[in-house]
Each structure stands twice: as structure tokens, then as C-alpha cells.
């Protein structure tokens, strides 16, 4: 199933969604930079290598070619074969869930629970799915096992990318997350209150709400006051 909302289509078509300022983090292997692009897309750069996450919505014309591309799901706001083609080079590894093989036939498939090391980077595929929300009775927007969230580790720094998920037990059970990117939007994922409840459970040092189109970020921010979690609100649109 493909998401085909007008907002998503317009964002893909309209130029000018350039990268936002980079966020810097210190690791044992040197400085790591994370740059929001748009919606669910971002880049992670360290050690002279470029990781691009879900290059679909936004403008990627100014980005260098990617060493690794991470795809979380088959929906059009996460998977855009034309953007992948523009970002890849000889030797680029494209990590995908199995459901994306039709669109990325040469992708490296990772299943929930699998781990892959590429140079100084470690990628763990973790579950992302709906518990109750879907397009019709008995159907879910994201079935368990179809897509991947990821935990990316570099120089000891652990970065969690939620992908499209609700407040699932596997997210609540995460350990030692330094930086988290957590989705929230209805009807596809979860409310800001649900997202905050999940974040309280696994308690990252820093959390960025992303994939939040139409959500009230103040609700999320207020729900995490007093927890010691650094909530960073950035403009993804």
C-alpha cells in the first residue's frame, strides 16, 4: 500500500526543501553530524562517510553521494527509487526491508533483529509497526515485520530511527540510546502523547520529533518536561 496524500505529493514535486543546519555530536571516533532534510529524511555524516535515511521528500541536489542509504518502509514518503538513483554511487550499500525488494532489487535486505557492520558503522534493524491503526477494520498501515526502524552506532554513539510505528513494546525496551528520532502523526503512527510515553520508557539522552506533519509538538515537549531528556524541536517542513 502506498501513501498518496496531496501533501506528500506536493512536497516531492516542489523544489527548495533544502537541508537544515547540522546537529553535531561527539563520539569516540570523532564528531558526527546529523542534518534534517524533510519529514522522515535526514543525513548522518562521520569519518568521511555519508548515511542518508529515507530520501524521498525534500531536495537532495546539494548532497554528496551516499555511502549507505537506509530505507525504513515501502510508502512513498520513505521510498523513492528516483532519489535513490541520484544519491547512489559505485559501492553504495542500500539497506532495505524485504518488502522493498521490488523497488530496490539490488538492496541489502535486513529483517527485524538483524545486525550489519559496514566499516565503523553498525546497523541494527528493529521493529516498527502499528498496533491498532489502519485503513480499515482488521487492517494496519504498517504490519509487523514489513518495515525496519534502525539503531545506528558510530564511535559508541547510538542513534535510534523509529520509522513509522506506534508505541510498541520493542521500542519501549530499547537500551542505551543517545539520540532518538521519533515519529508522530495521525492516522498513520501515533499521537504526541503516545510518542512521549514511549520515549519516557526507553529514555534517550536526546530526542527529536520527526515525521510529525500535523502534530502538536508542544504536547510532546510538555509531556517530557522534568524527565531529563533533551527535547529538540526542529523545522522538518
Q: What is the distance, to the nearest Å, from the Cα of residue 101 to the centroid of all Cα atoms in its chain?
A: 19
Is residue 202 one of the residues assigned to a domain? yes
Is residue 1 one of the residues assigned to a domain? no
Number of domains in the chain: 1
Strands (E), 119-233: 121-126, 149-154, 157-161, 179-183, 206-210, 230-231
Work out the pLDDT band at 19, boundaries 50, 70, 90: low
Is residue 237 one of the residues assigned to a domain? no
pLDDT beyond 90 at 42: yes
Whole-prediction pTM value? 0.92
Q: What is the CATH number of the domain that holds 29?
A: 3.60.15.10
Query: What is residue 7's predicted lDDT score, i.e. its pLDDT?
Result: 43
Q: What is the dihedral of CA 50, 21, 162, 203, to 10 degrees?
A: 120
Cβ atoms of residues 105 and 71 within 8 Å = no
pLDDT beyond 50 at 210: yes
Phi, psi of 196 (to 5 degrees): -65, -40
Query: What is residue 214's predicted lDDT score, i.e. its pLDDT?
Result: 94
Q: What are 34's strand-pairing partners?
A: 23, 44
Range of the domain at 191: 6-231
Is residue 84 one of the residues assigned to a domain? yes
What is the mean predicted confidence (pLDDT) over 80-98?
97
Work out the pLDDT band at 17, boundaries 50, 70, 90: very low
Is residue 138 one of the residues assigned to a domain? yes
pLDDT beyond 60 at 13: no
pLDDT beyond 50 at 14: no
Query: What is residue 5's predicted lDDT score, i.e. its pLDDT?
Result: 41
Percent over 90 (pLDDT), the chain: 91
Is residue 192 one of the residues assigned to a domain? yes
Residue with more model confidence, 187 or 12: 187
Nearest to 222 by CA among 200, 190, 189: 200
Is residue 167 one of the residues assigned to a domain? yes
Query: What is residue 9's predicted lDDT score, i.e. its pLDDT?
Result: 42
What is the mean predicted confidence (pLDDT) over 41-55?
98
Is residue 236 one of the residues assigned to a domain? no
Query: What is residue 20's predicted lDDT score, i.e. its pLDDT?
Result: 81
Q: What residues have CB less than 8 Å from 44, skipping those under 6 apart?
A: 32, 33, 34, 50, 51, 53, 152, 154, 159
Q: What is the distance, to the nearest Å, from the Cα of residue 82 to the centroid of all Cα atoms in its chain?
A: 19
Q: What residues have CB less than 8 Å from 139, skipping those under 6 apart?
A: none
Residue with more model confidence, 157 or 13: 157
Cell of residue 76, nine digits = 512513498
Residue with more model confidence, 1 or 64: 64
CA contacts within 13 A on the Cβ side of 42: 28
Summary mean pLDDT of the chain: 93
Residue-wise DSSP of 29-72? TEEEEEEEEETTEEEEEETTEEEEE---SS--TTSPPPSEEE--
Amino acid at each position: 500500500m502506498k501513501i498518496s496524500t496531496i501533501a506528500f505529493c506536493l512536497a516531492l514535486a516542489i523544489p527548495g526543501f533544502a537541508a537544515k543546519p547540522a546537529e553535531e555530536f561527539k563520539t569516540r571516533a570523532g564528531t558526527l553530524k546529523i542534518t534534517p532534510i524533510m519529514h522522515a529524511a535526514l543525513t548522518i555524516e562521520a569519518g568521511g562517510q555519508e548515511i542518508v535515511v529515507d530520501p524521498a521528500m525534500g531536495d537532495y541536489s546539494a548532497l554528496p553521494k551516499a555511502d549507505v542509504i537506509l530505507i525504513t518502509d515501502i510508502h512513498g514518503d520513505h521510498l523513492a527509487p528516483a532519489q535513490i538513483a541520484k544519491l547512489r554511487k559505485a559501492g553504495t550499500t542500500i539497506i532495505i526491508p524485504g518488502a522493498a525488494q521490488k523497488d530496490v532489487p539490488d538492496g541489502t535486505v535486513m529483517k527485524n533483529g538483524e545486525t550489519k557492520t559496514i566499516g565503523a558503522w553498525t546497523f541494527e534493524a528493529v521493529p516498527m509497526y502499528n498496533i491498532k491503526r489502519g485503513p480499515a477494520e482488521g487492517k494496519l498501515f504498517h504490519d509487523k515485520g514489513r518495515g525496519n526502524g534502525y539503531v545506528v552506532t558510530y564511535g559508541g554513539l547510538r542513534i535510534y530511527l523509529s520509522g513509522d510505528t506506534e508505541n510498541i513494546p520493542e521500542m519501549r525496551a530499547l537500551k542505551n540510546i543517545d539520540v532518538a528520532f521519533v515519529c508522530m502523526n495521525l492516522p498513520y503512527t501515533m499521537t504526541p502523547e503516545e510518542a512521549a510515553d514511549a520515549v519516557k520508557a526507553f529514555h534517550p539522552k536526546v530526542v527529536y520529533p520527526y515525521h510529525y506533519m500535523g502534530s502538536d509538538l508542544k504536547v510532546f515537549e510538555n509531556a517530557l518536561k522534568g524527565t531529563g531528556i533533551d527535547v529538540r524541536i526542529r523545522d522538518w517542513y
